[in-house]
Amino acid sequence: MALKVTRADVWTATVEDRVGGAAEKFEALARAKVNLEFALARRTPENPGKGILFAYPVKGAKATRAAQEAGFAKSASIHSVRIEGPDKPGTAARIARALAEAGISFRGLAMSALGRKFVGFVALDSAEDAKKAAAVLRKLA
């Protein structure tokens, strides 16, 4: 299983938990022609009335400016690794097991397949864990 593994800077924004709150934030990125590969929105039960948006990638001066003006910031606390490869049964299990055997605890894992390929993101607590996870995942074959 040949995997393409890269570090990923995930951007986050707090959003009001109301109709159209997420749409407004994402529309600001769309107006700047930011082409997102990954987006996730969810409520934050620990912060009633609010939600959080995750977005990747935000690249270039225009995209960065638009993201910042919309309330997004590159996350300083979420260190992510992007994984891409062929979609095969058991891929998620192999990735999770490889990380476990390396002593790496992840804070989040999102994976999706389209056609014969998958893409996923592993969120980790530190830059050191992300570096270690990337090295472990590059060795999966």
- Topology at the third CATH level for domain 77-138: Alpha-Beta Plaits (3.30.70)
On the question of pLDDT at 114 being above 80, the answer is yes
Burial class (CB in 10 A: 0-12, 13-18, 19+), 133: buried
Q: Would 10-74 and 77-138 be classified into the same CATH topology?
A: yes
Residue whose pair of structure tokens reads 């990735």 in the numeric block: 95
Domain boundaries defined on the chain: 10-74, 77-138
Separation of first and last alpha carbons in the chain: 4
| pLDDT tens sequence across 11-64 | 999 999 999 999 999 999 999 999 999 999 999 989 999 999 999 999 999 999
Whole-angstrom Cα distance, residue 30 to residue 26? Answer: 6
Task: Select the CATH number that applies to the domain covering 10-74 from these four: 3.40.50.880, 3.30.70.260, 3.40.309.10, 3.40.1390.10.
Answer: 3.30.70.260
| pLDDT tens sequence across 74-97 | 999 999 999 999 999 999 999 999
| Backbone torsions φ then ψ of 22, nearest 5 degrees | -70, -40
Which pTM was predicted? 0.87
Q: pLDDT class for 122, splitting at 50, 70, 90?
A: very high
Contact (CB, 8 A) for 42 and 21: no
